[in-house]
Structure 1
Amino acid sequence: VDTIDYFEKLLNDPNSGLDKPAAVILEGIQGEGGINAASVTWLQRLRELTSRHGILMILDDIQAGVGRAGSFFSFEAAAIVPDIVTLSKSLSAIGTPMALILIKPELDVWAPGAHTGTFRGNNYAFVTARAALEAYWSDSKFEDEIARKSAILVQELNAITEEFPTLGLSVRGRGLMYGLVSPKHHSLPGLVSQEAFRRGLVIEIAGSYGEVLKFMTALTIAEADLRRGLSIIRDSIGAVATTLDGGGAAR
C-alpha cells in the first residue's frame, strides 16, 4: 500500500469523512512499533504533501534522535525540515531529565512566560547536554564512529540470520537502532531476551506482537563490548532455537 498516495486521496476527497488534520506526527524510526525506519523517499513525499496542504509536520526524534539513527537527527538523509521536532532520551548525555521542542520561528507565537508549568528545567541536565554537544558533535568524528559500529552490528546480525535459516529472521533499522525480526516465531524475541538476561545481558523487545529483538546499544560502547554482547545474543538464540519447531541452526 502506498500510504502517501492513500493519505492524499483522503485529503482530496470531500466525502472521505476526514477533516484536514492540523498536523502529522511521526517517528523517523519507529521504536516501540518494531524498528520500522522511514525511507528517504517516503519522508520527502510526506514533507511535500504536508507543505502543499498546509499541514504541520511534527517529527518525534525522542528515541531515534541525537545520533541513534547514525546522524544527529533521524531525518537528515532525506534533507527535509520538519515544522516541529521533539528531542529527549540521550540529549542530556548521562540520563538526567531533559526534553526540548525545536519549532520554526513563525510558529513560535507564545510570548515569553506564556507557556508555564510547575516544573522547571533541570540546570544540571542543561550543563551535561551542552558538554555532550560540544564533546561529540563539534565535528564528524563521533558520527563516523557510530557508522563503524553500525557496520559491525549489521554484519553480525546478518550472520545470525544465516546461522539459523529455518527461523526466518530478518534485520531492519539504521545507525545503532536495529531490530532482529522473527515473523515466524513471535515468541522467540521474548525467550531470547530472557535467556540473554540469564547470561548477563539486558535486551528489550518491540513490535505489535513482541516479534522484534531491539538493539539500541550505547552510542559510546567499546567495540569489544559490542562484539561480546552480540556473541551472547547468538548463543541465546542458539539455546532457544533448540526448543522451537525445526531447531534453526544451519547444518
Structure 2
Amino acid sequence: MKIFEEIESEVQSYARSFPRIFNRAKGEFLYDEEGSEYLDFLAGAGTLNYGHNNDIFKPALIKYIEEDGITHGLDMHTKAKGEFMESFNEKILKPRQLDYVMQFTGPTGTNAVEAAMKLARNVTGRENIIAFTNGFHGVSLGSLAATGNSHHRGAAGVSLSGVTRVPYDGYLGDEIDTTEYLEKVLSDTSSGVDLPAAVIVETVQGEGGINAANFKWLQNLEVICRKHEILLIIDDIQAGCGRTGTYFSFEEAGVTPDIVTLSKSLGGYGLPFAVVLFKPELDQWKPGEHNGTFRGNNFAFVTAKAAIDHYWSDDQFSKEIKQKGRYVSERLEKIVEKYGEGNFTTRGRGMFQGINCVSGELASKITKKCFQNGLIIETSGADDQVVKFLCPLVIKQENLAKGIDIVEQAIKDVCDAENTIPEDNDYFDAVYHQSA
C-alpha cells in the first residue's frame, strides 16, 4: 500500500472504505492480492450491471482487439459504432416507440449531463434549469450546479449558477405533491423563478439516498413541462440500463423525456461510455459545437452491442431483474421489521434499493461490518445514512441471498452492540431517533 500512501491524492474515497489491493474480479466477486473473496454489492457505483469480466462480452472485445479494430475514432464513422447504433435503435428504441437521435459525448456521465443542459439552453434560448433537492448529476461545474450535495458543491471554488432547486417527490412528506409547488412558481410571474429551459430529474436518486419518485409524480412533472414548453431531461446514468427492471427507468411511469442521459453500465464491460438521446427536432447543434477527444470509445461500442444483443433482445432479462427486485424488497422489509424498531425504512425499486438507517454513523458501522465479513457495499444520502444495494443484475440467486444475509447479520451485530450501552441509553437515542 506504500505507493498509494506516498503519491495518491487525498481525494480518494472508496479506497478508504475498502482498504485492500484488488487484483482480480469475476461476475459478482472481487478478489484481493491475498486471495480473499468479496461479494460486490457496489458494482462500480452502478457501472457493472452485467458483472465483472462478463463471459458474453469478453470474447467479442478480445476478438476486436486481436483484429486491430479501431480503438480511438473521435466522432468518425466506424464499423463498431455503426453496429452498436443499429442494435440500440432496433432493440432498445424502436420497441419502446422512442424516436431519438444519439449524441456521443465525452465518456463520463457528467459529460452527458453537461451536453444535455447546454443543448436545452441553446434550443430554448433560456438559461435557467430546474433541478431537485438531493439530486446528483456530476461534479463538473455545469452538472455540479444541478447537484444538491453540499460536500461536492463546496469544492467548486466558484459560484454555481443557472439552476433553481425545487423539492423532490417526498421531500416535504409523502402527503405533499411537490409538483404543485413547481406549477405554482412557474405560473406566477412574481415567484422569482425564471421560466427554465429544462427540468432535469432522476427517477431514482442514487447518490441522494435511493429516493424513488412515484409514477404519478413523474407524470405530473411531464404535464407541467408540456404546459410551459419546458424540456424534460431524465438523468438515467445510474438508474438506467436495467437497474430498475426495465432498460430505461422511466418506462413504467409512461413518460417520454425530451432528452435522456446514459452512461455507467451502457458500455457493458465497465468501459467509459456516455450518450445523450434527444428528439430529432432538438438536434440544432452546429458541427463540432460540442465535442470531446474521447467521444468515440470503440471498445465500449463492441461490448455495449454485445450487452444489448444478449440481454435485451427480448423481455426475459427484464423479468429476471424484476423477480430479483421483489426478492430484495421482501428481504429488506423483513430486516427492517425485525431490527428497525420503527426507525429503519426501505426505499428504491427494482435492483436499486436501500435501507435508510437514519444515522450516517450507524450506516457506516453496518457497511464496515459487512466488509469484514466479505461484502463490499456503500452508503448514500445527504448524511450517508442509506445502505445502498447496487449488486450486478446478473448475480446468482444464491449469492444475492448470501449478500443480504451478510447485511442482516451486520445490522444484528451493530444493533446488539448499541443495545449493550447501559443505563439511560442516551447514545442509543441519538443514533436511532434523529431525523434523516
Provide the TM-score with structure 1 as the length reference.
Answer: 0.94
* Cα deviation 1:151-186 (Å, max 9, x = unaligned): 111111111112214262111111100010122x44
2:209 to 1, 26, 34: 34
Which among 405, 413, 424 is matched to residue 231 of structure 1? 405
Per the TM alignment, residue 12 of structure 1 is displaced from its structure 2 partner at its CA by 1.2
Matched, 1:213 2:380: no
Q: 1:125 aligned to 2:271?
A: no
CA shift digits 1:115-147 (9 cap, x unpaired): 322223110100100110010000011001101
Aligned-partner residue type, residue 237 of structure 1? I
Within the candidate set 259, 279, 284, 1:84 is matched to: 259
Moved more, 158-167 or 44-53: 158-167
Which has the bigger relative contact order, CA under 8 A and spacing at least 6? 2
SS at match of 1:145: helix
Q: Deviations over 1:32-71 (max 9, x none)?
A: 1000111110011000101110111110000000100111
Segment of structure 1 superposing worse, 115-124 or 205-214: 115-124
- 2:274 corresponds to 1:99: yes
Return the offset for 1:243. Answer: 2.4
Matched residue, 1:17: 192
Q: Give yes or no for the alignment of 1:69 onto 2:211.
A: no
Indicate the residue corresponding to 2:227 in structure 1: 52
- 2:335 aligned partner: 160
**What is the CA distance between 1:246 and its match in structure 2?**
7.4
TM-score by length of 2: 0.55
For the 8 Å contact 1:65–1:74, the answer to whether it is kept is: yes
Q: Which amino acid is 2:313 matched to?
A: S
Letter paired with 1:98: F
Distance 1:56 1:246 in 2: 54
Counterpart of 1:212, as a letter, is V
The alignment covers a number of residue pairs equal to 247
**CA contact under 8 A between 1:180 and 1:213: conserved in structure 2?**
yes
Residue of structure 1 equivalent to 2:10: none
Structure 1: gaps spanning 5 or more residues? none
Equivalent in 174, 180, 195 of residue 5 of structure 1: 180
Does the CA-based 8 Å contact 1:167-1:182 persist in structure 2? no
CA contact (8 A) 2:177 2:217 kept: no
Helix, strand or coil: the match of 2:375?
coil
Query: How many angstroms does 1:189 deviate by?
Result: 1.1
Alpha-carbon RMSD: 1.6
Alignment of 1:179-190 (within 5 A): 179-183=354-358, 185-190=359-364
346, 358, 372: which one aligns with 1:198: 372
| In structure 2, distance between residues paired with 1:53 and 1:162 | 44
Q: Structure 1: how far apart are the matches of 2:378 and 2:234?
A: 24
Q: Is the 8 A contact 2:234 2:259 kept in 1?
A: yes
Measure the CA separation in 1 of the matches of 2:226 and 2:195. 13
Task: Report the 3-state secondary structure (helix = DSSP H, G, I; strand = E; otherwise coil) of the residue aligned with 1:54.
Answer: coil
Letter of the aligned partner of 1:82 in structure 2? P
Higher mean displacement: 132-141 or 160-169:
160-169
Residue 242 of structure 1, aligned match among 416, 423, 428: 416
Listed as ranges, the gaps of 5+ residues in structure 2 are 1-175, 422-427, 429-436
User: Which of structures 1 and 2 has the bigger CA Rg?
Assistant: 2
Give 1:230's aligned amino acid: I
Answer whether contact 1:166 1:246 (CA < 8 A) is retained.
no
Give 1:111 shift.
4.2
| One-letter amino acid matched to 1:51 | R
Matches of 1:237 and 1:54 in 2, distance apart? Answer: 48
Residues 159-217 of structure 1 deviation map (CA, whole Å, 9 limit, x = unaligned): 1112214262111111100010122x442111101110111111010111111110011
- Code of the residue aligned with 1:162 in structure 2: it is E
